[in-house]
Amino acid sequence: MFRQRAVIHHIQDVTQGSLRDTCDGNHIRYTIFVNARRIVTASCGALLGASIVITHAAFVRTNAFSITFIDVGQGDAAFITTPSGRQILIDGGPDRSVLRGLAERMPWWDRHIDVVIATHPDSDHVSGLIDVLERYRVSYIFDPGVAHDTPQAESLFALVADEEAQHVLARRGQFLDFGDGIRLEILFPDRDVSGLETNAASIVARVIYNDIVILLTGDAPESIERYLVSLHGKDMRADILKAGHHGSNTSSSLHFVGLVSPEYAIISRGCDNTYGHPHESVLETFARFDVSVLDTCTEGNITFESDGQSLVRR
């Protein structure tokens, strides 16, 4: 599959006019030109309510969406390919094993990833992203803006500063439109999370492709699940739920799972983890709602493809 990189030609800072009236003149409107197409997104703070449209000049459509939950041991990493060949990586696991998973899903000559999302800076989610950024060019990098003080997180964000990538603070209301039917929406954070505990600051995102919805929750705990339910109610429904915090009993609460009502729950964890993941109570919750549980410990890489109407396990 041939894939041409989405190129940002220009980012313009415009702080006059209506934006000043609505945002007190302290924030930025970004005018993004991608392959000569003009996209305007307004921001109050950090691209709040923004849309990023990623396009490209030439590509061969695959006509299928795929998502792979990569077996990275005790950690998280999910890799998405859109029908037009756009690529998104959500988290990178605890080490360079994510590279093996990417090599299985990407052509050998491809050294570009359109979007990387670091849901939060814990080492089991971001350490592998260091290796990713050293090997691949990245167009956009999202993170929640929570304080990070681990050596791995410090190394990652030092690399981010050196990248030619657009660094975006993830906030509710943002979405990525890939121009091929795929839409990735940020549901949380919806505020400054710099002082929160890292799990509670996790980026929660959902991917929508026509009738198919995938909910990715990072390590978001039950308190954030309750908050999202209060905002969305039954609109939290998803076909695939990436179980929060590797199947820990701090996440995947009964009410949340019941409203999401997924067909599949994905547990990303190491077989020899010392945390007891997945906890029995979480497995019981999924069983109560007849959710099929797939575990990277026993399954290895877990891949689904979709045409927007149905899901097929590969």
Q: What pLDDT digit, counting tens, does each position of 166-195 carry?
A: 889 999 999 999 999 999 999 999 999 999
Record the tokens describing residue 292, joined without a space.
């099929």
Say what the pLDDT of residue 63 is. Answer: 65
What are residue 34's phi and psi, to 5 degrees?
A: -115, 110
Single-letter amino acid code for the residue at 308: G
Answer yes or no: are the C-beta atoms of 266 and 241 closer than 8 Å.
yes
Say what the pLDDT of residue 43 is. Answer: 40
The full set of domains in the chain, from first to last, is: 62-313 (3.60.15.10)
Q: What is the dihedral sign for C-alpha 96, 97, 101, 104?
A: positive
Q: Which residues of the chain have pLDDT under 50?
A: 1-48, 56-61
Say what the pLDDT of residue 159 is. Answer: 86
pLDDT tens digit sequence for 27-50: 323 333 333 333 334 344 444 456
Say what the pLDDT of residue 62 is. Answer: 56
pTM for this structure? 0.83
C-alpha 76: how far from chain center: 11
State how beta strands 212-216 and 240-242 pair: parallel
